[in-house]
Amino acid sequence: MIDRLMQKIDQCRNPTVVGLDPTYEMIPYGIRMEMIEKYGKTTRAVSKMLLCFNKAIIEGVGDLVPAVKLQIAMYEQYGLEGIRAYLETIVAAKKKGLIIIGDIKRGDIASTAAAYASHLGGVTIEGTHFDIWNEDAVTLNPYLGFDSIEPFLPYCTEFDKGLFLLVKTSNPSGGEIQDLIADGVPVYEHTARLVSQWGRLVMGDNGYSKIGAVVGATYGEQGKSLREKMPHTFFLVPGYGAQGASGNDIRGYFDRDGRGCIVNSSRGIIAAYQKDKKYGAHNFAEAAREAVLTMKKDLEDKG
């Protein structure tokens, strides 16, 4: 998956990942009313809204970016119908040739982590195998240690899937735990060392592991030093745009060849039409496309 991702980034000449994290308020009024007319005030209606919105965004940006990331809570909050929108969005994005990152941030003891690993491995019922989720990679929380990650590894090899493990998160409070000093170094550096070590078990063909790290764009200095410490770990970088980071903040996250990370923006792209009065609600996909092109340009002179 990491080699496929790198190839897609090269093809698009763009390391931007579009975060498909729609909120109810982001859905243009016209789409909301259309679905409520058809399905009433139900979670089914919301599911249809989310899917309709996502499909238009995918159409609008699909040729410009290598991947999309879906934050699963945005869908799970609507129960079964929300999950339906999640799964159907993945089908639509796959049709467009996009790599799918399921932002599920799971972490559990080995026996139940094995069930979470179905996100990558599917399930087998009486000898018949089913792919349920169809993500190419998922995000995990590694703070439970290796036995919480290990159940996912066979699928990295067998089905060419990938993982992105939280190392240094973008949120303001992340440092309360991640920056604590243990044995003279911050906790997130210990995590980085472990993630690199585990990554050696599932190396891709181009120098990077199928186990990547989530490194927030909002902590530029730490991100830069992690790049030096983790030469074989691809970074998924959130925090661009709505959380305040820009291309300048993440200059040091790329390797010498200008590779080594993908940069996510969710609200900054999919809700771009709400920020710029020149777009009407019906132009939301066009606004998202414009936002991707602006972000691409900003990331281009990363040096």
Ligand X SMILES: O=C(O)c1cc(=O)[nH]c(=O)n1[C@@H]1O[C@H](COP(=O)(O)O)[C@@H](O)[C@H]1O
Going by C-beta distance under 8 Å and a sequence separation of 6 or more, which residues neighbour residue 176? none
Q: How many CA atoms lie within 13 A of 140 on its CB side?
A: 31
* CB closer to ligand X out of 47 and 265: 265
Closest CB 282 distance from ligand X, rounded Å: 22
In the numeric block, which tokens belong to residue 195? 């993630």
Instruction: Calculate ∠ Cα 7-133-11, nearest 5°.
Output: 15
Question: For the chain, how big is the Rg over CA atoms in Å?
Answer: 19
Shortest CA distance to 3 belongs to which of 198, 208, 196, 202? 208
Distance of CA 75 to the CA centre of its chain: 14
* CB closer to ligand X out of 45 and 198: 198
Clarify whether 105 is annotated catalytic.
Answer: yes
* CB closer to ligand X out of 21 and 45: 21
Going by C-beta distance under 8 Å and a sequence separation of 6 or more, which residues neighbour residue 269? 18, 19, 57, 61, 241, 288, 291, 292, 295
d(CA 14, CA 273): 21
Closest CB 73 distance from ligand X, rounded Å: 8
Binding site for ligand X (CB under 6 A): 19, 21, 71, 103, 105, 139, 169-171, 214, 216, 238-239, 241-243, 264-268
* CB closer to ligand X out of 119 and 267: 267
Shortest CA distance to 140 belongs to which of 186, 102, 112, 173? 102
Closest CB 256 distance from ligand X, rounded Å: 25
* Helix, strand or coil, per DSSP, at residue 128: strand
Closest CB 266 distance from ligand X, rounded Å: 3
Closest CB 39 distance from ligand X, rounded Å: 26
Catalytic residue chosen out of the listed positions 105, 277, 278, 296: 105
* CB closer to ligand X out of 28 and 45: 28
* Helix, strand or coil, per DSSP, at residue 262: strand
Q: Which residues are catalytic?
A: 105
